[in-house]
Amino acid sequence: MDKKINELIDAYIHEMRNKGIFTIPISKDSTHKNYKYFEQIIKTYGNIGGWDPVVFIRANLETKTKYPAQLNTKTAFNAFKDYKMSLNTINKDEKIVQSFVNTVETIIAKVGKYDPYLFFESNNENMSKGLACYLNGSISKYYCVVNKPFLEKIRILSEDIGQFLDIDELKIKRAFILNTPLKLRNELKKIMNKDYWI
């Protein structure tokens, strides 16, 4: 436990120095008056899944200075959870953007240029390069569910091939993309090319 307490104190000192504040007394000495607050934080929250001392401190010192006693509260832990969730959301958005970029690059590699109509062969009821890539997971399903040529393709598929599609999964992924923040959707449209966006 001592190691976790020291990591939390180090994170606090580092963040306060970054803010140019050196006046709040703090020490790793267990007899120091402020040590008990960090000890209690670790006792209460240190073993909870996803605990990260640096993120905990950043979440609580990002907008205003807080004394150690102010960190030993449920409010401070809730700020940590909210901040961590926002970081995870950003990471998810970045992954979706990258998956669109990777799909565009795959289309160019398979077709010789960026043309989803050729890639998905949306006038042909048989398997296509694009559909094969969709089924084997080598292109973004999020990209496909908002892509005109892909949606046109699956409408005319033969029953034999169509049975390999999970329609419910398509609907869920489509709803997810269409409900992402406008800024992210605009970025995805640019990557895909708005002419191909549904």
The dihedrals phi and psi of 197, each to the nearest 5 degrees, come to: -75, 140
Best-predicted range by mean pLDDT (43-52, 72-81, 96-105): 96-105
- Residue 177 structural domain: 89-196
Domain boundary among 17, 42, 72: 72
Residues 54 and 137 in one domain: no
Encode pLDDT of 55-79 as tens digits: 899 899 887 888 899 999 999 988 8
Domain boundary among 47, 72, 97: 72
Q: What is the spatial distance between Cα 42 and Cα 70, in angstroms, rounded to a whole number?
A: 14
pTM of the complete model beyond 0.95: no
Query: Taking all residues of the chain, what is their mean pLDDT, rounded to a whole number?
Result: 90
Would you say 130 and 120 are in contact if contact means Cβ atoms under 8 Å apart?
yes
17 or 119, greater pLDDT: 119
Rg (CA), the chain: 25
Coil vs helix vs strand at 50: coil
| Least trusted range by pLDDT, from 46-50, 105-109, 138-142, 171-175 | 46-50
Across residues 92-96, what is the average pLDDT? 90
Residue 42 falls within a domain, yes or no? Answer: yes
- 32 phi/psi in degrees, rounded to 5: -65, 145
Q: Which residue has 């401190």 as its token pair?
A: 57
In one letter, which amino acid is 88? N
66 and 114 belong to one structural domain? no
